[in-house]
Structure 1
Amino acid sequence: MPKPTKGPRLGGGPAHERLMLANLAAALFTHKRITTTETKAKRLRPLAERLVTFGKRGDLHARRRVLAVIGDKTVVHELFTVIAPQVADREGGYTRITKIGNRKGDNAPMAVIELVLEPVTPKKRAAKPAAEAPVAEEAPVEVEETAAVEETEAAAEETSEAAADEAPVEEAEPAEAK
């Protein structure tokens, strides 16, 4: 767990905070999306991200580490068998926090924290990003320019062929020479 914050805990002492975050993480893994206060969501994010990383490892030691936090075998089983394979290609950022406004009763700022389970599109990595970045930007421009040049050359050939068919041979030769 990250370094504990100074000042008051979320609704009690450190033990209560640890148990509350464990329950929130279990609910997040069970329902894939929960609504809570912004503060609790921000405190839950590092814990949930680390537990998902353990789920991606998938070995016995990682399973026991997650069981020490959550304690519910069905939730841990779902994390390791369902959620971890869905985020196997993702390198981080397994959760998303969306602010949804204030709660009606006490005007507390609310947020939705959810698991990001959409498949990730891997980016192509360049060998030298600093040296090849300008080349990568110029390459599509050159392709577009060569395509435009080829189209204009093809159009010019068609017009010259059409003009050659209509005009007598003697007139077509001086026109091409110009």
Structure 2
Amino acid sequence: MRHLNSGSKLGKQPDHRRAVLRSLVTNLLEHGRITTTLTRAKAARPVAEKMITLGKRDTLQSRRQAASYIMLPAVTQKLFSEIAPKFADRAGGYTRIIHAGNRVGDNAKVAILELIGYEFKLKEKKEKPKKEEEAEVKA
């Protein structure tokens, strides 16, 4: 019986599960928004919230704890200098999960895990030369 056992095992061994969560949280803090499966997003959300709470404390101990979990030192620095100050007056709920349908290959439920206040920027499309112009250049 799984009474009082919270959290998903994600079908992985404990070391692998911890590595997956570390990677997800590191990427979320680095990019502000990640796309993953719904189950992984639900598992990574509380960990990301705890990292941001550590960032808000901004003590030597909290910096060491965050650095031991986050994989990249630059992301740890970003957490304390950019991300945590944005949430200084917020008492929790730093992330949101947006359901994004199903994945084409295996029909898995996909979700977007993003930081609150993240501004999504579309990449500018590069204009390709028209085929008529290419034909004139070749001739």
TM-score by length of 1: 0.61
Give the distance between the partners of 1:95 and 1:48, measured in 2 at CA: 8
Give the equivalent residue in structure 2 for 1:176: none
Deviation track 1:117-164 (CA, whole Å, cap 9, x = no partner) reads 37xxxxxxxxxxxxxxxxxxxxxxxxxxxxxxxxxxxxxxxxxxxxxx
Aligned pairs for 1:17-32 within 5 A: 17-32=17-32
Partners of 2:48 and 2:60 in 1: how far apart?
A: 19
Shift of 1:12: 2.0
Q: Which amino acid is 1:36 matched to? A: T
2:77 corresponds to = 77
| AA aligned opposite 2:34 | I
Preserved CA contact (<8 Å) 1:87 1:117: no
For structure 2, the residue ranges without an aligned partner over 5 or more in a row are 119-139
**Residue number in structure 1 paired with 2:39:** 39
Deviation at residue 5 of structure 1 after TM alignment? 3.8
Provide, for residues 46-85 of structure 1, a one-character-per-residue CA deviation record: whole Å limited to 9, x for no partner. Answer: 0000000000001110010011111321110000000001
Task: Tell me how far 1:4 sits from its aligned partner.
Answer: 5.8
Q: Distance in 2 between matches of 1:49 and 1:80?
A: 13
> Following the alignment from structure 2 to structure 1, what is the Cα–Cα distance between the partners of residues 35 and 75?
18
Relative contact order higher in (CA < 8 Å, ≥ 6 apart): 2
Letter in 2 for 1:93: G
- Identity of aligned pairs, percent? 47
Q: Which residue of 2 aligns with 1:67?
A: 67
Unaligned runs of 5+ in 1: 119-178
Q: Give the length in aligned residue pairs.
A: 114
Structure-1 residue corresponding to 2:136: none
SS of the residue 1:25 aligns to: helix
Aligned to 1:93: 93
Name the larger-Rg structure.
1
In 2, the alpha carbon distance for the partners of 1:86 and 1:13 equals 35
Partner of 2:130 in structure 1? none
The CA deviation string for residues 66-120 of structure 1, in whole angstroms up to 9 with x for no partner, is: 11111321110000000001111111000000001000000000000000137xx
Deviation at 1:30, TM superposition (A): 0.5
RMSD: 1.5
Greater share of residues in helix = 1
